[in-house]
Amino acid sequence: MSAMPSAVSIREVGPRDGLQNEDPVPTEAKVRLLDALTATGVGRIEAVSFVHPKAIPQMADADEVWKAASKNPQVRYSALVPNSRGAQRALDAGFTEIEVVVSASDTHNRRNLNRSTDESLDDIAALIDLLHNAGARAEVIVATSFGCPYEGDVDPARVASIIDRVVADGADRVAFGDTTGMATPPRVVAVVSRVRERHPDLPILLHFHNTRGTALANVYAALQLGVTEFDASVGGLGGCPYAPGASGNVATEEVVHMLHDMGIETGVDLAALLDAARLAQEIVGRELPSGVLRAGPRLPDMR
């Protein structure tokens, strides 16, 4: 295990992954949340997804949201797409960082995308070429990397073989999704170590859910492995519409609070982030699961 990193990059996924699992909210409310998160100092934001409105009606206004949002050139904004058609929409909207998802679990992939994992990987190879030809970067997110609600445990070797394929096809970076919060620290170590052995220089990001209360422990385990990029969602918003029991993502303010207490820089203003979390709570009209949002930071002046 390596020494703890001195700084971590967080990608805020509340505007996309968070809101896609909620009742649809007005466009202007999405823009307000996106702008509030931009003002926190977070380095990366997953802003929207370009999907068919019948599949995810919560994202039907992606173009309108992105046009109205305040863009900060210091923030890296990304969009999620399901296929080449969505990728072209994202490119037309001006995105240069684009994500696509494939599930390590074949059953989950069929529920999510109506095709097998291998079929999705074939599609992704063509999508990567499309993005690169347009000057954009492609990130492949491997969902159910740590377990599947339909199939149970997922072999780290299967996850690693998917990474082998997407790297060979030109993926610029990869992410591992804990889609239903089945990850525990030993499972994080098993997956990350297996991939790092084969691709030591590949940029990786981890995406944890707190469904079973292990998200911060998993972040800590990943930090010990030298991982410096994580997804998190303001207030703990989110889940997965195609995975039973997938409660919210790890709350951004909980991750930032822990990292700052450890002396690890994030660039995020915790007070501004808590303001954004309160706004998110107001927008969705219910109490969000974040402990730091409820209790506040351990010290009043923590930034």
Express each pLDDT in 2-40 by its tens digit: 689 999 999 999 999 999 988 899 999 999 999 999 999
CATH number of domain containing 172: 3.20.20.70
Q: What is the mean pLDDT of the chain?
A: 94
pLDDT at 137: 98
Domain count, the chain: 1
Is the model's pLDDT at 172 over the cut of 90? yes
Domain assignment of residue 216, yes or no = yes
Percent of the chain surpassing pLDDT 70: 96
pLDDT at 239: 64
Closest CA to 160 of 137, 131, 193, 187: 193
Domain assignment of residue 302, yes or no = no
Partners of 129 in the β-ladder? none
Report the alpha-carbon distance of residue 61 to residue 66 in Å, rounded.
9
Express each pLDDT in 180-203 by its tens digit: 899 999 999 999 999 999 999 999
Euclidean distance between the first and final Cα of the chain, in Å? 28
Domain assignment of residue 2, yes or no = no
**Domain residue limits at 197:** 9-295
pLDDT at 244: 54
Annotated catalytic residue within 240, 250, 256, 270: 240
Domain assignment of residue 265, yes or no = yes
Is the model's pLDDT at 161 over the cut of 80? yes
Express each pLDDT in 122-148 by its tens digit: 999 999 999 999 999 999 999 999 999
Domain assignment of residue 301, yes or no = no
pLDDT at 299: 85
Which of 244 and 90 is assigned the larger pLDDT? 90
The reported pTM is: 0.96
Catalytic status, residue 148? no
- Amino acid letter, residue 86: G
Q: How confident is the model over 216-226, as a mean pLDDT?
A: 98
Q: How confident is the model over 208-237, as a mean pLDDT?
A: 96
Query: What DSSP string runs through the chain?
Result: -PPPPSB-EEEE-IIIIIGGGSS---HHHHHHHHHHHHTTT-SEEEEEE---TTT-GGGTTHHHHHHHSPPPTTSEEEEEESSHHHHHHHHHTT-SEEEEEEESSHHHHHHHHSS-HHHHHHHHHHHHHHHHHTT-EEEEEEETTT-BTTTB---HHHHHHHHHHHHHTT-SEEEEE-TTS---HHHHHHHHHHHHHH-TT--EEEE-B-TTS-HHHHHHHHHHTT--EEEEBGGG----TTSTT--PBPBHHHHHHHHHHTT-B----HHHHHHHHHHHHHHHTS----HHHHH--SSTT--
pLDDT at 180: 86
Domain assignment of residue 4, yes or no = no
Domain assignment of residue 303, yes or no = no
- Categorize the per-residue pLDDT at 113 as very low, low, confident or very high, splitting at 50, 70 and 90: confident
Is the model's pLDDT at 240 over the cut of 70? no
CA distances from 271 to 36, 274, 303 (A): 12, 5, 6
Express each pLDDT in 245-302 by its tens digit: 556 899 999 999 999 999 999 999 999 999 999 999 999 999 999 999 999 999 887 8
Q: How confident is the model over 163-188, as a mean pLDDT?
A: 97
> Within a 10 A sphere around the Cβ of 154, how many other Cβ atoms?
23
Q: How confident is the model over 69-79, as a mean pLDDT?
A: 97
